Amino acid sequence: MPTVLIIDDNAAVAIALDVLFSLHDIGALRATSPEEGLAILERTSVDLVIQDMNFSADTTSGEEGTALFREIRRRHPDLPVILLTAWTHLDAAVELVKSGAADYLSKPWNDNRLIATVTNLVELGQANRALRQRVQQERRVRRDLEQGFDLRGMVWQDAATERILHLACQVARADVPVLISGPNGTGKERIAEIIQANSLVADGPFVVLNCGALPAELIEAELFGAEAGAYTGASRAREGKFEAADGGTLFLDEIGNLPLAGQMKLLRVLETGRFERLGSNRERQVKVRVISATNADLGAMIRAGTFREDLFYRLNVIELRLPALAARPADILPLAASFLARGKSLHHCAQAALLAHAWPGNVRELKNVMARASLLAAGDVIKAGDLGLPVTLAASVEVEPDRDAIVQAMARAGGVVAQAAADLGLSRQALYRRMERLGIAR
């Protein structure tokens, strides 16, 4: 049951309000003076305050009510306050509403309007409190993640990305293979770096091999090394990636491109740590943590006979599915800001255009777009037209930032209104007005 504190020295007014609220399942506390009301607020949680504007006999200036309101606002900045006014100090009440009071009602009041106002403000206050609690929890989780692990400069805001980071850090110290799946350009190699940086072999080498960037006949030589004369052009012996990664981590990108012969040898290395160079019968032993990544459907490849099922299950002890950038939209603007040249910022129309784009190239495409915009923009504020994206409704009109955009901007700015306003391309006063209109707590 919501609770309202009534601060009024007129017993008849307080009793009338108490009875009215009881008929609508709203609890009421009563105080006859500003001092008593403030004392109740210090020891009791309430959802809303209704306060008179005068408490001394023969006083109609509203100064006492103004002082009380300002003290409530100072001590409890998010608590909604309704002012009970008389016509003699209606102007003062209007000024207080401009300063943050939730509403004012003239005596005698309209019961229906009062109940509707109280109900709306209580619901809004509960929603704001839930939002603040969620934001605070998200900040605590993020702080613990950033302080407890080496995230290699990872930039993120979306809950989907955070879940991947948590899982990556959780499995980092386990000596098991990890498979990272997801579309091209989503940041799979960065996740692999985070796993390596927080693993038991963090001080060892981190070696990368893109299996999709080499001809099939050279992949085995890259992985396992080759003796002189093992193939045309092999004029001298060379070590492979497994030898180079001994005591550390080998990241195999685009593992689906590994030919079947290489898959069989890889499976043996994963099971025993032993292999031979091409053209050699001498067995070599290594200790390597293998992290692999793919944008392919390995299940379909298994059914087609182009990928070994036993290798899939050996690589897939832990699988991290990294979503496409469009599926984690809260990451888009923080990433875009991190890719901007120093001194550049995004107009809110540009932000809307970035959020409206489908990002088929994912983070890699976003990075290229921001690099180009930083170079070609005429000023320090990048507009939608500077991005070079396909024209959309969001990019072609002045878009008013909605509630989610403002909440996210405030979260990124750590509650600093001036910084959030700059992020949205607004003045501080304009952001304050929108926050009040949308019921967003300061």
Q: Is the pLDDT of residue 322 over 80?
A: yes
Q: Can you give the pLDDT at residue 42?
A: 93
For the chain, the residue count is 442
- Say whether pLDDT at 358 is over 60: yes
CA angle 230, 232, 238 (to 5 degrees): 50
SS3 259: coil
329: enclosing H helix or E strand: none
**Can you tell me the mean pLDDT for 396-422?**
74
- Asked, for residue 139, whether it belongs to a domain, the answer is no
In a domain, 270, yes or no: yes
What does the pLDDT read at residue 307? 96
Task: Compute the distance between CA of residue 272 and CA of residue 268 in angstroms, rounded to an integer.
Answer: 6
88 pLDDT exceeds 60? no
pLDDT at 398 over 60: no
Sheet holding 249-253: strands in order across? 206-210, 249-253, 289-294, 178-181, 318-321
In this structure, are 199 and 55 located in the same domain? Answer: no
Whether 83 shows a pLDDT value over 70: the answer reads yes
How far is it, in rounded angstroms, from Cα 361 to Cα 363?
7
- Which pLDDT does position 292 carry in this prediction? 96
Answer whether residue 70 is part of any domain.
yes
- Strand-pairing partners, residue 106, are 85
Over residues 414-422, the mean pLDDT reads 78
Average pLDDT for the chain: 87
Do 379 and 407 lie in one domain? The reply is no
| Residues contacting 114, CB < 8 A, separation 6+ | 20, 82, 105
Residues 198 and 284 in one domain: yes
Q: Indicate the range of 55-59, 124-128, 330-334, 370-374 predicted with least confidence.
A: 55-59
pLDDT average, residue stretch 402-421: 79
More confident call, 405 vs 274: 274
Residue 397 has pLDDT above 50, yes or no: no
CATH at 381: 1.10.8.60
Report the pLDDT value the prediction gives residue 291, as an integer from 0 to 100: 96
Query: Residue 19: its pLDDT value, please?
Result: 94
Give me the mean pLDDT over the 240-255 stretch: 95
Are 91 and 207 contained in the same domain?
Answer: no
The answer, yes or no, to whether residue 235 has pLDDT greater than 80, is: no
CATH, residue 210: 3.40.50.300
Render pLDDT for 167-197 as a digit per residue (tens, 0 to 9).
999 999 998 999 999 999 999 999 999 999 9
Cα–Cα distances in angstroms (integers) from residue 312 to residues 38, 258, 259, 297, 320, in the given order? 66, 12, 13, 11, 14
- For residue 399, the one-letter residue type is V
> Does residue 35 belong to any structural domain of this protein?
yes
Distance separating alpha carbons of residues 316 and 180, to the nearest angstrom: 9
Domain limits for position 371: 326-386
Exposure class string for 119-146: b at 16+ Cβ within 10 A, else e: eebbebbeebeebeeebeeeeeeeeebe
Alpha carbons 182 and 374: distance in angstroms, whole number: 28
Neighbours of 71 (CB within 10 A): 15
For residue 415, what pLDDT is reported? 77
Average pLDDT over residues 199-224: 90
Chosen domain end from 78, 111, 128: 128
User: Is 154 part of any domain?
Assistant: no
pLDDT digits (tens, 9 = 90+) for 255-296: 999 989 889 989 999 999 999 888 888 999 999 999 999 999
**CA 320 – CA 168 distance, rounded (Å):** 7
**Paired strand residues for 179:** 292, 319
Residues 295 and 330 in one domain: no
Is pLDDT larger for residue 5 or for residue 422?
5
* The pair of three-digit structure tokens given for residue 2, joined into one six-digit string: 């919501």
Q: Which of 282, 299, 323 finishes a domain? A: 323
Q: Do residues 270 and 164 both lie within one domain?
A: yes
Same domain? For 374 and 415 the reply is no
Q: Where are the beta strands (DSSP E) in 241-373?
A: 249-253, 274-276, 283-285, 289-294, 318-321, 345-346
Beta-carbon contacts of 102 under 8 Å, excluding residues fewer than 6 positions away, are: 48, 80, 81, 82, 117, 121
Phi/psi region, residue 50 (left: phi>0; alpha: psi -120 to 50; beta: rest), is: beta
Give the end of a domain, one of 106, 128, 150: 128
Same domain, 113 and 223: no
Would you state the pLDDT for residue 393?
42
pLDDT of residue 113: 87
Tell me the C-alpha distance between 262 and 289, whole Å: 18
**For range 339-365, the mean pLDDT:** 92
Rounded to the nearest 10 degrees, the angle between the axes of helix 260-272 and helix 216-224 is: 20
- Band (396; pLDDT cuts 50, 70, 90): very low
Taking the whole predicted model, whether its pTM rises above 0.75 is answered as: no
Is 191 in the same domain as 293? yes
For residue 171, tell me if it sits in a domain.
yes
| Confidence band, pLDDT 50/70/90 cuts, at residue 53 | confident
Q: Which CATH number do you get for residue 103?
A: 3.40.50.2300
Q: Is residue 151 included in any domain, yes or no?
A: no
Number of independent structural domains in the chain: 4
- Does any domain span residue 69? yes
Give the separation between CA 440 and CA 442, rounded to whole angstroms.
6
Averaged pLDDT for residues 329-346: 93
> CB of 263 within 8 A of CB of 302?
no
Q: Are 406 and 387 a contacting pair, CB within 8 Å?
A: no
pLDDT confidence of 399, banded at 50, 70, 90?
Answer: low
Output DSSP code: residue 322: P
Q: Are residues 65 and 28 in the same domain?
A: yes
Query: How many angstroms separate the most distant Cα atoms in the chain?
Result: 108
Q: Are residues 302 and 425 in the same domain?
A: no
Give pLDDT, residue 86: 66
Q: What angle do CA 362, 367, 373 make, to 5 degrees?
A: 125
Pair 194, 231 in one domain: yes
Instruction: Say what the pLDDT of residue 93 is.
Output: 61
